[in-house]
């Protein structure tokens, strides 16, 4: 019994220290009044405190409101607000905290509570000035700084939020949250590169976290610190992560850098999980490509292609590799598999058309290109390839018509100017026009193909010495191809320099063993 009396006496004492007299009417314009400490107000407030201490918040507020009938004070208003808050009634809690602050604007507890409510209601523009006032009195309070940083961020002021976070980091550098939050803001504001410094600091401070490592790698890409990415990926892998992502990224980078052994070692760590991700057998096949192990490459293609997440890149890269190896049947098989999976898209029809052309089936190649153009009539590359098929098929008027349409659409395009000129040279027609076209292309750009075109026009015109000079000029460029050596061989052959011609034809076959014209020319010279 004595203990209860002591508690009650303490409640009364606290109330006497904080209460001021005023009626609750006109509460929006509350001003300070002389304190009178009415006894009935004290009694009801005391009962309210007892109810609140037992968790009976509705009864507590009944007593607090009775106390307001005799006296109005910030303490009573804040007590009502706190009870509403405990009951989850946010709006009345906010209203009463605001009323309490009208009487006592410096009440730190009420300010802290109202700031939390504003944040909860996403009224960050109201929370920010309240938090700033609290921090004026307690500038080192990291809890308040954290709320302010969050409010600035949610209000769209990323720069101000980062300034606050840097203050927290300076005060408490051992707190990981500040670094993580700052990194997230960097990504959110479009400055992913700026996140790297925060992530590099925080990752050693926390348990292994895949999300943070992924953000770090992304930020390093944005920062263009490519040399550091493999190091980070390796550290990520060494955490024992269950994901395959870092292994795949690391292996891909190592293959691109020429470190095939390092890539294979990492892939071996997840090789038995190939069913989880088609990129695992895809990259294993890339390793086999580097060793030119065709059977292994095909094995890994089949393994990856049967998985549901196999993408079109798998089909394109593998078909292209087999095509470049001269394995046309395998390349065409993969293109057919791609069309079964993704439909007859332009790229697959185009690839099959070019494979058919290389196989010598010009009719099939032309049919595929016409099928492509029926669905995509503006496809310039397909129209140009179809024109070349027409040239090889002897349909010169159809070829000329296609090139004229292309040139009319883009009269200054150097590639079209050159290709039209070369097509005229191949057809041995309108050579003056062809020369005008290639000269116009050469005014814009000089490369092996354009110089070779001019050489071939001169060859057709019978100007062999000038033709030889231009073909030799073409061979100085790094993009020299098998066809240019074939042209040089023909020019040398017509001038009677057979030994040099044979050497040029051999060089053409060295660059492209499938060059039928060069092979035929050598056989004719035996």
- Per residue, what are the HEC states of 163-195? HHHHHHHHHCCCCHHHHHHHHHHHHHCCCHHHH
Number of residues that make up the chain: 526
pLDDT value at position 38? 64
How many helices (DSSP H) and strands (DSSP E) are in the chain?
30, 0
Rounded Cα distance, 317 and 301, in Å: 10
Residue 463's region, left for phi above 0, alpha for psi from -120 to 50, else beta, is: beta
User: What's residue 480's pLDDT?
Assistant: 87
Report the pLDDT averaged over residues 458-473: 95
Integer-rounded Cα radius of gyration of the chain: 40
The average pLDDT across 182-188 equals 96
Residue 28 has pLDDT above 70, yes or no: no
Give mean pLDDT, residues 323-333. Answer: 93
- Cα 244–249–251 angle (5° rounding)? 95
SS3 55: coil
pTM here is 0.70
pLDDT digits (tens, 9 = 90+) for 293-315: 999 999 999 999 999 999 999 99
Residue 394 has, within 13 A of its CA and on its CB side, a CA count of 0
- Position 23 pLDDT exceeds 60: no
- Of 230 and 9, which is predicted with more confidence? 230
Tens-digit pLDDT profile for residues 119-166: 999 999 999 999 999 999 999 999 999 999 999 999 999 999 999 999
Mean pLDDT of 2-14: 43
Dist. CA 332–CA 351, nearest whole Å = 8
Where do the H-state alpha helices sit in 325-395?
328-342, 346-359, 362-375, 380-392
Burial of residue 469, with CB atoms counted within 10 A of its CB: 0-12 exposed, 13-18 middle, 19 or more buried:
middle
- The two tokens of residue 247 are 């292994």
Mean pLDDT of 33-40: 59
258: left (phi over 0), alpha (psi -120 to 50) or beta: left
- Helix orientation angle between 294-305 and 279-290, rounded to the nearest 10 degrees: 170
Using the structure block, give the residue that is written with the tokens 């992530």. 199
Q: What is the three-state SS of 241-269?
A: CCCCHHHHHHHHHHHHCCCHHHHHHHHHH
Instruction: Check residue 525 and give its pLDDT.
Output: 86
Is the pLDDT assigned to residue 167 strictly greater than 90? yes
Closest to 400 in 3D by CA, of 414, 390, 413: 390
Does an H or E element contain 37, and which?
none
| DSSP three-state, residue 511 | helix
Provide the pLDDT confidence category of residue 183 given band limits of 50, 70 and 90: very high
Query: 263: exposed, middle or buried (C-beta count within 10 Å: 0-12, 13-18, 19+)?
Result: buried
The CA-based dihedral angle spanning residues 95, 97, 98, 101, taken in that order and rounded to the nearest 10 degrees: 160
The string of pLDDT tens digits covering residues 80-129 is 999 999 999 999 999 999 999 999 999 999 999 999 999 999 999 999 99
Backbone angles phi, psi at 391, to 5 degrees: -60, -50
Task: Compute the average pLDDT of residues 243-248.
Answer: 95
Mean pLDDT, rounded, for 481-489: 93
Q: What is the pLDDT of residue 394?
A: 86
- DSSP SS3 for 481: coil
Mean pLDDT of 374-378: 91
Q: Say how far apart CA 523 and CA 504 lie, in whole Å.
A: 14
Q: Look at residue 8 and tell me whether its pLDDT is greater than 70.
A: no
Q: Which of 524, 519, 464 is nearest to 488 (CA)?
A: 464
Cα 450 from Cα 421, distance rounded (Å): 9
Judged by average pLDDT, the poorest of 37-46, 286-295, 343-352 is 37-46
Q: What integer best gives the mean pLDDT of the chain?
A: 90
Summarised one tens digit per residue, pLDDT across range 420-462 is: 999 999 888 899 999 999 999 999 999 999 999 999 999 999 9
Q: Is the model's pLDDT at 198 over the cut of 50?
A: yes
Confidence of residue 396 (pLDDT cuts 50, 70, 90): confident
């Amino acid at each position: 019994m004595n203990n209860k009396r002591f508690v009650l006496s303490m409640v009364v004492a606290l109330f006497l220290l904080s209460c001021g007299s005023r009626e609750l009417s006109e509460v929006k314009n509350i001003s300070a009044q002389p304190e009178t400490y009415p006894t009935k107000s004290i009694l009801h407030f005391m009962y309210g405190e007892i109810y609140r201490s037992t968790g009976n918040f509705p009864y507590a507020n009944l007593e607090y409101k009775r106390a307001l009938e005799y006296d109005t004070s910030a303490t009573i208003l804040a007590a009502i607000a706190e009870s509403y808050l405990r009951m989850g009634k946010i709006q009345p809690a906010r209203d009463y905290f605001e009323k309490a602050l009208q009487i006592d604007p410096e009440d730190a507890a009420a300010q802290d509570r109202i700031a939390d409510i504003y944040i909860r209601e996403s009224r960050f523009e109201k929370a920010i000035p309240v938090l700033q006032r609290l921090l004026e009195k307690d500038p080192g309070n990291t809890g308040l700084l954290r709320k302010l940083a969050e409010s600035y961020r949610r209000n769209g002021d990323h720069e101000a939020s980062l300034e606050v976070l840097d203050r927290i980091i300076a005060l408490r550098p051992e707190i990981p949250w500040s670094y993580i939050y700052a990194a997230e803001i960097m990504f959110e504001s479009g400055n992913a590169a700026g996140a790297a410094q925060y992530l590099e600091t925080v990752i050693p401070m926390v348990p292994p976290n895949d999300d943070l490592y992924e953000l770090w790698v992304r930020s390093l890409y944005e920062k263009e610190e490519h040399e550091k990415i493999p190091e980070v990926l390796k550290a990520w892998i060494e955490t024992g992560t269950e994901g395959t992502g870092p292994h795949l990224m690391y292996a891909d980078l190592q293959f691109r850098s020429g470190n095939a052994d390092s890539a294979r070692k990492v892939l071996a760590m997840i090789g038995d999980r190939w069913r989880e991700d088609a990129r695992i057998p895809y990259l294993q096949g890339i390793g086999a490509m580097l060793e030119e192990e065709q059977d292994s490459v095909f094995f890994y293609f089949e393994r990856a292609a049967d998985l549901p997440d196999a993408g079109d890149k798998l089909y394109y890269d593998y078909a292209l590799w087999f095509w470049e190896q001269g394995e046309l049947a395998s390349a065409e098989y993969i293109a057919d598999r791609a069309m079964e999976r993704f439909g007859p898209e332009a790229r697959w029809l185009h690839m099959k058309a070019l494979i058919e052309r290389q196989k010598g089936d010009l009719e099939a190649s032309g049919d595929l290109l016409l099928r492509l153009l029926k669905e995509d009539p503006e496809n310039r590359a397909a129209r140009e390839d179809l024109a070349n098929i027409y040239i090889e098929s002897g349909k010169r008027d159809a070829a000329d018509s296609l090139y004229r349409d292309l040139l009319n659409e883009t009269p200054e395009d150097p590639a079209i100017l050159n290709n039209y000129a070369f097509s005229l040279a191949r057809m041995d027609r309108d050579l003056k026009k062809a020369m005008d076209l290639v000269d116009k292309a050469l005014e814009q750009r000089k490369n092996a193909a354009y110089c070779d075109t001019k050489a071939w026009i001169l060859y057709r015109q019978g100007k062999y010495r000038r033709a030889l000079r231009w073909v030799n000029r073409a061979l100085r460029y790094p993009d020299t191809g098998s066809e240019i050596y074939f042209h040089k061989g023909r020019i040398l052959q017509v001038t009677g320099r057979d030994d040099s011609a044979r050497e040029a034809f051999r060089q053409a076959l060295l660059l492209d063993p499938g060059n039928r014209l060069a092979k035929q020319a050598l056989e004719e010279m035996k």
